[in-house]
């Protein structure tokens, strides 16, 4: 009879319904959960300290080389854009690189003439009209 009860437990069957055993298991589970929470808090504290130390090192590097934080750069750029757009109802225009769109029409005609030179006589006449 004892062997069958043990086999039932091994196979995932019902355990003995002793209130003291159930209470003890519940307490053990609560202790385990509390230990996990405590470990997680300790881990987070450790990471916070490490990140603070890293930030000190980062700041010393920024000071040494005259660099700015990414957030500071973005804030300055945003402020510059807002200042440039002040009083405008539309969004800021993007800068157009030199040589894009400000070329003379004469250059375009010379390119067309160059292409026409390579076409047969009849096609040249058609495009010149």
pLDDT at residue 12, as a whole number: 60
Q: Which two tokens stand for residue 92?
A: 């800021």
CA 105 to chain centre: 45
What is the value of pTM for the model shown? 0.41
C-alpha 75/C-alpha 42 separation (Å) is 35
pLDDT at residue 102, as a whole number: 53
C-alpha 117/C-alpha 39 separation (Å) is 82
Question: What confidence tens digit (pLDDT) does each residue in 38-50 have?
Answer: 999 999 999 999 9
pLDDT at residue 73, as a whole number: 81
Question: What confidence tens digit (pLDDT) does each residue in 70-87 have?
Answer: 888 888 888 887 776 666
pLDDT at residue 15, as a whole number: 55
pLDDT at residue 79, as a whole number: 82
Place of tokens 């355990």: 15
Comparing CA positions, the residue from 84, 59, 83 lying closest to residue 72 is 59
Q: Write out the DSSP string of 11-60.
A: TT-PPP--HHHHHHHHHHHHHHHHHHHHHHHHHHHHHHHHHHHHHHHHHH
User: Which residues, given as ranges, of the chain have pLDDT below 70?
Assistant: 1-17, 84-109, 128-129
Comparing CA positions, the residue from 79, 105, 86, 84 lying closest to residue 95 is 84
Q: Are 118 and 111 in contact (CB under 8 A)?
A: no
CA 89 to chain centre: 31
Helix 121-128 with 105-117: angle, nearest 10 deg: 160
């Amino acid at each position: 009879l004892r062997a069958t009860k043990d086999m039932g437990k091994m196979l995932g069957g019902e355990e003995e319904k002793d209130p003291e055993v159930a209470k003890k298991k519940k307490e053990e589970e609560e202790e385990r959960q509390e230990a996990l929470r405590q470990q997680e808090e300790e881990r987070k504290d450790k990471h916070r300290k490490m990140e603070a130390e890293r930030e000190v090192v980062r700041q010393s590097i920024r000071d040494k080389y005259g660099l700015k934080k990414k957030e500071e750069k973005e804030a300055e750029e945003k402020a510059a854009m807002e200042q440039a757009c002040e009083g405008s109802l539309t969004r800021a225009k993007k800068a157009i690189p030199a040589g894009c769109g400000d070329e003379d029409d004469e250059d375009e005609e010379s390119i067309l003439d160059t292409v026409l030179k390579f076409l047969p006589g009849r096609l040249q006449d058609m495009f010149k009209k």
